[in-house]
Structure 1
Amino acid sequence: MRNEDFVPPTPRPGPRLRPVFTAAALACACLTAAGCAGDGGRSPSAGPGAASRPGSPPPSPSSGQPSAPATSPAAGPLPRGPLTGRTVVIDPGHNPGNRDHTREINSQVDIGTGRKECDTTGTATDSGYAEARFTLDVSRRLRTLLEEQGAEVVLTQDGDRPFGPCVDERARIGNKERADAVVSVHADGSATGNRGFHVILPAAVHGGGADTAKIVAPSRDLGERIAGNFVRVTGSAPSNYIGGDTGLDTRDDLGGLNLSTVPKVFVECGNMRDPEDAALLTDAGWRQKAALGIAGGISGYLKK
């Protein structure tokens, strides 16, 4: 798929390296494997949404007014656990409704170092399973796993708005929540034969409204932990076409990262255009493993 504001990067030649995951990244997190209901980036992208706070009608991104971020639909207080007192923002890439709102999502927004489309439609498998459906399903599963550990989880959208939010608004939601960690969930849309996952890290960017100096190092720590746990839990290998076999890729052209003031990464869970990866991405059991892998990385980062 294509991440929210992704533009396929120019291939970077170089030696292929072995994964550089830290020991902490490979540590096993104590997470339950319980699933949850629900139904994803690097070429053009798509995305799902977050559950809005009760009583808040989903405002239109074109109105210029930020929408209320989605909180958990769970009733009652969160259980106490190792992540009690921590706030995590989950950003399901794209929105299933984006394809019906091309004018709105093609509008330009400021990403700090320039201007870019509000959002994109995302990719899909050859059978038509949309990235936006994938990202929303994995994000909901991830929310459940983190809440079981006591974390306060906010989704940028939960299928509760007609399109968007725009990439700049997605960043603002994490900033406003003063999140301890933000993870944007995606699936790629590259060529057949390109397989595996990768985690996108923010580059050092300073210009316009963007200044990532304070989040580059903690975001890398978060990304390495997620990558290591993703390998362990899902059995998937790091991307064979991005990141030199490390599973890590640094980008300076994504508004969702450039405008963030809190640690944030993107996770491209696999390539929807490759038949073997697509078979995994469309399997509910594997999507639960993907959520567990991401949750383990977030948990390890927050408990360090």
Structure 2
Amino acid sequence: MLDPGHNGGNAKAPSVINKQVPAGRGETKPCNTTGTAADSGYTEHAFTWDVSQRVGNALSAKGIQVVYTRYDDNGVGPCVDKRAETGNNANAAAVVSIHADGSTSAGAHGFHVSYSNPPLNSAQGRPSISLADDVRDSLRDAGFATSTYLGTNGIYPRADLAGLNLSTRPAVLVECGNMRNAAEAATMASPSGRQRYADAITAAVLSYLAG
């Protein structure tokens, strides 16, 4: 399952996306957010949608069944708990949630990959860690720098992400880079840059599924 972060209509539906939903570990959080954007105005939701489509098309061409949490970039939501539910109901062999960060810290750049930690079920243990390692290794092999500001060596375990906490399938979230960094924003805004991200994520999923 591919989970393109956010959605193009979220900004026009605050009453929907601000509603509290289950986030795992006894917590709640807003249904969704608008996501971030580059200084140029290029949005995270557009980036994640485009990359997910490229990844999905490449995987489908290999005979792999692909399920998405959303099928356009002009809707609202779905909420983070429903995104996890989609992967669970599909019995997905792997779940990859695609995002981009918006840190304003000076010099912050690079990607990081998160998984739910401490694990709440067996899928969140070794399977999710292995998937995270495959995504990290593939992005790094493709020439993308690991994060300078979050995590270690491109890996950032977290306990606060609902989509990961509520997943019963191997699941990771990748922040492909920092949209507030001019160089990374330019890569994300370019079709060739998005293809590079997609190729790396596709290779990671194929590696993981191959065992």
TM range (shorter): over 0.9
Q: Which residue of 2 is the match for residue 218 of structure 1? A: 127
Structure 2, unpaired ranges of 5+: none
TM-score normalised to the size of structure 1?
Answer: 0.67
- Which amino acid is 1:151 matched to? I
Deviations 1:41-79 (A, max 9, x none): xxxxxxxxxxxxxxxxxxxxxxxxxxxxxxxxxxxxxxx
1:162/1:214 Cα in 2 relative to 1: closer, same or farther (>3 Å)?
closer
The answer as to 2:88 corresponding to 1:175 is: yes
Match of 1:138 among 40, 43, 51: 51
Q: Which residue of 2 is the match for residue 93 of structure 1? A: 5
- Computed over aligned residues only, the root mean square deviation of the Cα atoms, in angstroms, reads 1.1
What is the rounded CA distance, in whole Å, between the counterparts of 2:176 and 2:74 in structure 1? Answer: 24
What is the rounded CA distance, in whole Å, between the counterparts of 1:129 and 1:182 in structure 2? Answer: 25
Bigger fraction of residues in helix: 2
Q: Quick one: percent identity of the two aligned structures?
A: 45
Structure 1, unpaired ranges of 5+: 1-88, 206-210
The answer as to 2:113 corresponding to 1:199 is: yes
What is the rounded CA distance, in whole Å, between the counterparts of 1:96 and 1:214 in structure 2? Answer: 31
What is the rounded CA distance, in whole Å, between the counterparts of 1:286 and 1:161 in structure 2? Answer: 23
The answer as to 2:15 corresponding to 1:103 is: yes
Give the Å deviation of 1:213.
3.7
Q: Which residue of 1 is the match for residue 76 of structure 2? A: 163
SS in 2 for 1:96: coil
SS in 1 for 2:35: coil
Q: Which residue of 2 is the match for residue 79 of structure 1? A: none
Q: Which residue of 1 is the match for residue 39 of structure 2? A: 126
SS in 2 for 1:269: strand
Give the Å deviation of 1:160.
6.4
Q: How many residues align?
A: 209
SS in 2 for 1:251: coil
Q: Are the equivalent residues in 2 in contact too, given 1:212–1:259 (CA < 8 A)?
A: no
SS in 2 for 1:111: strand
| Structure 1 residue ranges, 4+ long, deviating more than 6 angstroms after superposition | none
Q: If you compute each CA radius of gyration, which structure gives the higher value, 1 or 2?
A: 1
SS in 2 for 1:187: strand
Match of 1:243 among 151, 171, 185: 151
What is the rounded CA distance, in whole Å, between the counterparts of 1:232 and 1:105 in structure 2? Answer: 36
